[in-house]
Structure 1
Amino acid sequence: MKNKGTLMLIFLVVFMVGKRVLGQSDDRPNIIFLLSDDQTSVATGCYGNDQVKTPNMDRLAKDGVLFLNHYNTTSICMASRANILTGMYEYKTGCNFMHGDLAVDKFENSYPVLLKEAGYFTGFAGKVGFVLEGEGSEKIEDGLPVGYFDKWGGGPGQTIYETVKNPTIAEYAEEYPHSTRAYGAWAGDFIKEAKSSGKPFCMSISFKAPHLPFTPDPFFDGVYAGQTYKKPDNYGAENATHLAPQAKSGRQYNSYNFWRESEASYQEAIRKYNQLIHGVDYAIGMIRKSLVEQGLDKNTIIIFTSDNGYSCGAHNLGGKVLPYEEASRSPFIIYDPRTPQSQRGIKRKTVTANIDVAPTILTYAGVDIPKNMDGENLLPLIDREGGIKRDHIALTNMWGNDEIQALSVVTEDYKYIYWQYTDERMQPTEELFHIAVDKLEMHNLAQDEAYKAELKKMRKLYDKRYRHLVKEGMKANDYGKYTVLFDRKAPESQKNQYRQLTYAKLLEQEAEKKKNKNTHKN
């Protein structure tokens, strides 16, 4: 028996060596994670918009699983990207504008680092969106995690639409002068290199598109030429009279004038926005073609989403940040070519979130999910509706002027927002939307007696999420104050000590900066 066992061991060793020589050393699936920037789910064909052309996204949904209620737990790029990588809520990552950078130890527990440690060939291209905070790591260059990946195509800040101005992809500028298609070309080269490594690969690409400035690729100028877009039914200030005063106090309501200056201005903005998204869609097509050419399409999972939504003039709002549907929801598609044909093209209504990306990717790769992650492995949900035990997620905004900072909870059917700010102009305000039937959020039901039971239930979910923030949230990076601000029962005298930046004060600061800048020029 011992000899038989020895022979079997020798056979396995020879078999594995042979596989490595052939470049087939690991049967684990390849994983591609694709992230657009500022894409609301409303701007995607497979979510029911017949005014846009997203054939490759639609095909991914037809071949895979479309998640109908996908939210970004923090709807702003810096925080959301940290949420995605680490699988944690913002109050645990400590990463957002006005708060702080992402600590190295948290990044080292992110999905790309864990997959590389597990033997994956890893690559990243595009906008990182944050910098790493920490000393002594040789893998960090100018605050970016360059050395944590086998192949690097990332860039600092927002990156730039002109390919030639992004050093890590500048070599593609002649053929692909706009960065969106350049990232598609970079991906093709990565896939070739990954194949030759003999390892399974994990490639993450974070497109700049369709983030401002709306500078679409001229290659697609003909796609929407001559098209006139119909505005959504909740467009404009006349459809925002029911919103809380806090929501209308910040730049999201009072800036982004190009959405409302004129009909021509709106049409130009929405066309450019949609054209940028079409460019991302085209790059997805490039990537899928490269997989076929390399013979890797049958074992490569593709996950597509965005870091936050975009308001596009709904309720007179621009930008993202706020917990309303257009700003907080994004497309979310998972395509696994190994799935039987009968289980493709399915749709799931269960609420999902950006914090689910990391644990789902780790599970696909056979890597254990760290206990600190807040997200869910979605594979059971892909198998059947109700496959995960989740009845709500939290939406947080801890950025911007004081008035708009809020904690919210959302279920498949309802959304509850608690606007905590109060002064002589406004009082703490509750909003309750029956989003299952009122996706445009036109009816605040918080004062409706018929929804008293639902309001009570959503308050309990809010308080549950608040307790998690108190227990698990970090106190550093100015996050400790939210244990007071988001407490529905805390007295205003206690909250006032944490007021820092009202919208009026923010405007004063910006005016002063502009004045000083002009003075310096003169």
Structure 2
Amino acid sequence: MPYLLSFFLCLSLSLFGKEKPRPNIIFILTDDQRWDALGVAGNSIIKTPQMDNLAKKGVYFKNAFSTTPICAASRASILTGLYERTHNYTFQKPSLQVQYTNLMYPKILKENGYHVGFYGKLGVAIDRPEQYFDESDFYDRGPRSDKGGYFYKKIGADTVHLTRYAGQQAQDFISNAPKNKPFCLSVSFSAPHGHDSSVEQYFWQEKSNSLYEDIVFPRPSLGEDLYFDRLPIEVKNGFNRVRWKWRFDTPEKYQRMMRGYYRMITEIDDEIGALRNLLAKKGQAENTIFIIMGDNGYFTGDRQLADKWLMYDPSIRVPLIIFDPRMPNKARTVSDMVLNIDITQSILDFAEIKSPVNYQGESLKPYLNRSDYSLHRDFILIEHLWKLPDIPSSEGIRTDKWKYFKYRYIQAPEELYDLEKDPMETKNLAQEQSHQKILKKLRNKFTRKVAQLRKEQLVAESSSQEQIKF
């Protein structure tokens, strides 16, 4: 009788207890793609059919934010699931400490049976980063101050754009991935980041020469003098303004630069389409999750500024799309505030791996499981802690209704905006007597959150510096 019971138990397990395969995960990270540089965001000019299609079949997060609007700190936050205030990494800092690299999602995935790959811009100084991946190749724009900054990698005998190069590496990874393991592939495009040392700034492939050629781009938001004049003198004299002069300070230059910027984003979209076609051909499309995000926001002439770094929404707001073909509630647009540090938790949740207790974000997976799910975040903390005179450091918090921030090392007024009445952040209410109560409340929330994040540091802060390109 015991043998008979064992037989039926084994039979039932083989018929009914077979585990579902864990999903493949593809994480696409773009560099300096602002939140509204997407068709699905309501942009009628840009051509992003693949990203739009994934958003319309999956979940589009219309209020996604980078906790720190600069690539080094933001990318460290995505890797570790921690605020900059906790991991303490940004430019001109030593390598990310091992206590934090132990929390990185690729390391945890690799230790839990995933085949893990990374191609493109890592953007974080890490000792021997290749140890955390099964396959990897780390690179960014090259040293030449012309198109060679983007065109220096080869496929066969052909020198190709970095976007094409990373896309081909991603295809090769998928084609050659082991069949007995799920994979997680991170593709970190250098585009559409301007090539800072070049007069032309934006470089694209020959196939895109005619794209947007007949388009007249609308003038940038808040491009009038009065909005620039309200900024602190240190911001007016800083790198945001310097780079505006590189890219957007004349109408002709603005049109030319915007065409280049959009062309580079469309070329990323092309590579996403190629990956989707390959997955369909290999029969893996129905078990592969796509996560597409930008590392920080971007000023394209807003307030007569360029780049990011500041606490205004165009600088901190990013595109975010998650598509999981296995989920029952696929199409949804989410208005809740979500963060770059949520991606780390989400990737491990999709992979059915328990996350470290240190993570400071939330999993976004429930948004794909339940049509009524909401995080109900009271507020988010935003910060840019790098102490560099040319980019004034600032910090604050944002709720659905309010934005409060202050500069850290310069004498400048606090700023407070009612985002419901003033979503463009044009009327600073911080000095108005009628708003002192909410100002004090937001200050207190901010102070308590900062104290909490400092307590969660795993190692003491380091002030030693090394020079890093940004």
TM-score, shorter chain, exceeding 0.5: yes
Match of 1:509 in 2: none
Does 1:29 find its partner at 2:23? yes
Q: Check the 8 A contact 2:60/2:321 in 1, yes or no.
A: yes
Structure 2 Cα separation of the partners of residues 43 and 229 of structure 1: 13
Instruction: Give the one of 372, 394, 415 matched to 2:381.
Output: 394
3-state SS, counterpart of residue 155 of structure 2: helix
Instruction: Specify which of 312, 318, 325 is matched with residue 300 of structure 2.
Output: 312
1:432-477 Cα offsets, whole Å, 9 max, x none, are 1223443322121222344444323322221222222332345322
Alignment partner of 2:398 out of 410, 418, 437: 410
Match of 2:460 in 1: 475
1:446 lines up with 2:430 in the alignment:
yes
1:361 to 340, 347, 364: 347
Q: Residues 348 and 385 of structure 1 are in contact (CA less than 8 Å); yes or no, is this contact kept in structure 2? A: no
* Preserved CA contact (<8 Å) 1:350 1:385: no
- Equivalent residue number for residue 468 of structure 2: none
Q: Distance in 2 between matches of 1:191 and 1:250?
A: 43
For 1:122 and 1:241, the matched residues in 2 are separated by 48
CA drift at 1:414: 1.8
Q: Deviations over 1:95-149 (max 9, x none)?
A: 211222212342232111111111111111111112214xxxxxx2xxxx22322
CA drift at 1:9 = 6.9
Aligned-pair CA distance for 1:286 = 0.9
SS of the aligned residue for 2:283 comes to coil
Native 8 Å contact 2:336 2:374 kept in 1: no
Gaps (5+ residues) in structure 2? 196-201, 466-470
Structure 2 counterpart of 1:80, from 69, 74, 90: 74
| Alpha carbons of structure 1 residues 256 and 152: separation in structure 2 relative to 1, 3 Å | same
How far apart are residue 172 of structure 1 and its match?
Answer: 5.5
> Match for 2:271 among 283, 300, 304?
283
Pick from 91, 98, 101 the counterpart of residue 104 of structure 1.
98
Corresponding position: 1:339 with 2:327 = yes
Partner SS, residue 176 of structure 2: helix
AA paired with 1:50?
A: S
Match status 1:48 vs 2:36:
no
For residues 337 and 462 of structure 1, do their structure 2 counterparts lie closer, same or farther at Cα, with a shift above 3 Å needed? Answer: same
> What is the SS of the residue equivalent to 1:292?
helix
The answer to whether the 8 Å contact 2:66/2:339 transfers is yes
Q: Structure 1: how far apart are the matches of 2:84 and 2:182?
A: 30
Counterpart selection for 2:160 from 177, 184, 187: 177
Following TM superposition, by how much is the alpha carbon of 1:190 offset from its aligned partner in structure 2, in angstroms? Answer: 1.4
In the alignment, what sits opposite 1:459? Answer: 443
CA distance in 2, matches of 1:74, 1:461: 18
CA change 1:380–1:398 in 2 (3 A) is: same
Preserved contact between residue 247 and residue 254 of structure 2 (Cα < 8 Å): yes
Cα offset, 1:400, TM superposition: 4.6
Question: Which aligned pairs between 1:494-505 and structure 2 lie closer than 5 A?
Answer: none
CA displacement, residues 325-362 of structure 1 (integer Å, 9 cap, x when unaligned): 1111110011111122xx33311111111111110010
* Distance (Å, rounded) in 2 between the aligned partners of 1:2 and 1:248: 82
TM-score of the pair, normalised by structure 2? 0.88
> Is 1:154 matched with 2:155?
no
Equivalent position SS for 2:414: strand
1:389 Cα offset (Å): 4.3
Counterpart amino acid of residue 224 in structure 1: Y
C-alpha separation in 1, matches of 2:95 and 2:7: 54
Q: TM-score, normalised by structure 1?
A: 0.80
For the residue of structure 2 that corresponds to 1:280, the secondary structure is: helix
Matched, 1:198 2:180: yes
The 1:470–1:199 alpha-carbon spacing in structure 2 relative to 1, beyond 3 Å, is closer
- Give, as a single letter, the amino acid of the residue that structure 2 aligns with 1:56: Q
Give the drift of 1:244. Answer: 4.1
Contact 1:129 1:158 in 2 (8 A): no
Percent of aligned pairs with the same residue?
A: 35
Q: Is the CA contact (8 Å cut-off) linking 1:350 and 1:386 kept in structure 2? A: no
For 2:117, give the aligned amino acid.
G
The amino acid of 2:363's aligned partner reads N
Contact 2:141 2:190 in 1 (8 A): no
Name which of 249, 259, 276 aligns with 2:247: 259
Q: Deviations over 1:30-80 (max 9, x none)?
A: 111000001111222211111211111111110111111111111111111
Equivalent pair of 1:395/1:407 in contact (CA under 8 Å): yes
2-structure distance, mates of 1:10, 1:455: 65
Three-state SS of the structure 2 residue aligned to 1:270 is: helix
Moved more, 323-332 or 389-398: 389-398
Count, aligned residues: 452
RCO (CA 8 Å, sep 6+): is it higher in 1 or 2? 2
Residue 468 to residue 4, structure 1, CA distance change in 2 (3 Å): farther
* Residues in 1 aligned to 2:409 and 2:277: alpha-carbon distance in whole angstroms: 51
C-alpha distance in 2, partners of 1:5/1:459?
66
SS at match of 1:407: strand
Query: CA 1:234 to 1:287, structure 2 compared with 1: closer, same or farther past 3 Å?
Result: same
1:270 positional shift: 1.1
